[in-house]
């Protein structure tokens, strides 16, 4: 809005994402009333999970119909702000109807291919890291195993970064399906024998066991449980419905061998689960995200003024770059060569090895 005002461009806010676009739900956006917007969490435009292309037979026809709506809304161009789903709609509109759209990557999941970071990610990571720091107090006092469930859908960035930041003892992410016996039970046994009295397990809401482990180790769920999960409007499985943290707790409580190992070391065997859920989308953004949001907005407005549609703004290193929406809107996941993977494995292993008697 800052650049728009400076360039004599009038801004209109479209409410509730693509739902508001379809239903002409708009508000005027005057910088005079919103000059501190970057310091406030959430969005004054509200949001929704609406996919205008859901179930359409011809994407081209739908894209042309949607692009005509620019006239109804009396807008010349559109800045779409959101994750892979939201920006995927903008990309389809550009591809099939040459819509005058520009994308700004925004999701706490940080799972958008075209940018190193999305704004909201680091604020959410900090919230989860702080929560695990705080839980350590009660875990230590009660000698408990805490399984903390962290958002991120099917990408593990939030869990990996917040888990490493808080020094979680076990970190489970969707990109590396876990082996319940090897990655949880064995590690807890090694840790308690090395003298640890409490344990924090960070698990993505989308983490899930390897099929071999699911069939071998699990008593409370099966492959059908995962297959039956409901899907959202974009076809994403609602992984949070799985409730992985409680499943892990239930399975741990069935392991008498583990209880015996804890008791042999004079340590209580009590497990609790904590689902951070929407507390990770709360509060005010941190400075990194406030500044990134402003930088993205400035860059997006400049793309509009230069008529460079069909692109999204991107953070690469510490530079703001432009990538075509068609390249940027895919999903990104943590890869095996990512140094956080090695850090996680070292954090888990070296701790108990270094303390073994």
Instruction: Judge whether 161 and 340 are in contact, CB under 8 Å.
Output: yes
Binding mask 126-165 toward ligand F6P (x if CB under 6 A, else -) reads: -------------------------xxx------------
Closer CB to ligand F6P, 49 or 100, in the complex: 49
> How far apart, in whole angstroms, are the C-alpha atoms of residue 140 and residue 253?
19
Number of residues that bind ligand F6P (CB under 6 A): 11
> Do 298 and 292 meet the contact criterion of CB atoms below 8 Å apart?
no
Nearer to ligand F6P, 90 or 108 (CB): 108
The yes or no reply on residue 106 touching ligand F6P (CB under 6 A) is: no
Smaller CB distance to ligand F6P: residue 151 or 160?
151
Using the rule CB under 6 A, which residue among 50, 51, 67, 107 binds ligand F6P? Answer: 107
**Minimum CB–partner distance for residue 153 and ligand F6P (Å):** 4
72 is known as an active-site residue: no
By CB under 6 A, name the one of 84, 109, 149, 175 that touches ligand F6P: 109
Identify the residue among 164, 240, 298, 347 touching ligand F6P (CB under 6 A): 240
Backbone torsion region of residue 167, taken as left when φ is above 0, otherwise alpha when ψ lies between -120 and 50, otherwise beta: left
Q: Among candidates 167, 203, 343, which has minimal Cα distance to 276?
A: 203
- The sheet that has 78-82: what strands, in order across it? 78-82, 101-105, 311-316, 319-324
Handedness of CA 339, 340, 346, 351 (dihedral sign): positive
Residues 238, 232: Cα–Cα separation, whole Å? 6
Catalytic residue selected from 109, 154, 169, 217: 109
Interacting residues toward ligand F6P by CB under 6 A: 49, 83, 107-109, 151-153, 205, 240, 281
């Amino acid at each position: 809005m800052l650049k728009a005002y400076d360039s004599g461009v009038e801004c209109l806010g479209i409410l509730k994402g693509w739902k508001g676009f379809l239903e002409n739900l708009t508000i005027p956006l005057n910088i005079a009333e919103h000059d501190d917007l970057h310091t406030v969490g959430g969005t004054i435009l509200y949001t929704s999970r609406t996919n205008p292309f859901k179930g359409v037979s011809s994407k081209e026809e739908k894209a042309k119909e949607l692009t005509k709506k620019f006239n109804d809304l009396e807008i010349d161009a559109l800045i779409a702000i959101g994750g892979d789903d939201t920006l995927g709609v903008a990309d389809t509109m550009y591809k099939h109807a040459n819509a005058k759209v520009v994308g700004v990557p925004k999701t706490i999941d940080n799972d958008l291919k075209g940018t190193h970071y999305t704004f909201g990610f680091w604020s959410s990571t900090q919230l989860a890291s702080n929560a695990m720091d705080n839980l350590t107090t009660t875990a230590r006092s009660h000698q408990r195993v805490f399984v903390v469930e962290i958002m991120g859908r099917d990408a593990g960035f939030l869990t990996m970064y917040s888990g490493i930041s808080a020094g979680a003892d076990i970190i489970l992410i969707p990109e590396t399906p876990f082996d319940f016996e090897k990655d949880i039970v064995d590690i807890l046994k090694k840790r308690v024998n090395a003298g640890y009295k409490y344990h924090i397990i960070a698990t993505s809401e989308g983490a899930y066991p390897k099929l071999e482990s699911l069939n071998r180790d699990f008593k409370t769920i099966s492959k059908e449980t995962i297959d039956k999960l409901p899907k959202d409007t974009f076809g994403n499985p609602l992984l949070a419905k799985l409730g992985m943290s409680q499943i892990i707790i239930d399975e741990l409580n069935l392991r008498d061998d583990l209880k015996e190992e804890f008791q042999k070391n004079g340590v209580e065997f009590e497990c609790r689960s904590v689902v951070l859920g929407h507390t990770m989308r709360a509060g005010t953004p941190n400075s990194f995200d406030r500044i990134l949001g402003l930088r993205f907005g400035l860059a997006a407005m400049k793309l509009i003024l230069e008529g460079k549609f069909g692109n999204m703004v991107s953070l690469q290193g510490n530079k703001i770059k432009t990538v075509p929406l068609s390249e940027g809107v895919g999903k990104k996941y943590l890869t095996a060569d990512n140094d956080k993977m090695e850090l996680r494995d070292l954090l888990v292993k070296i701790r108990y090895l270094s303390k073994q008697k």
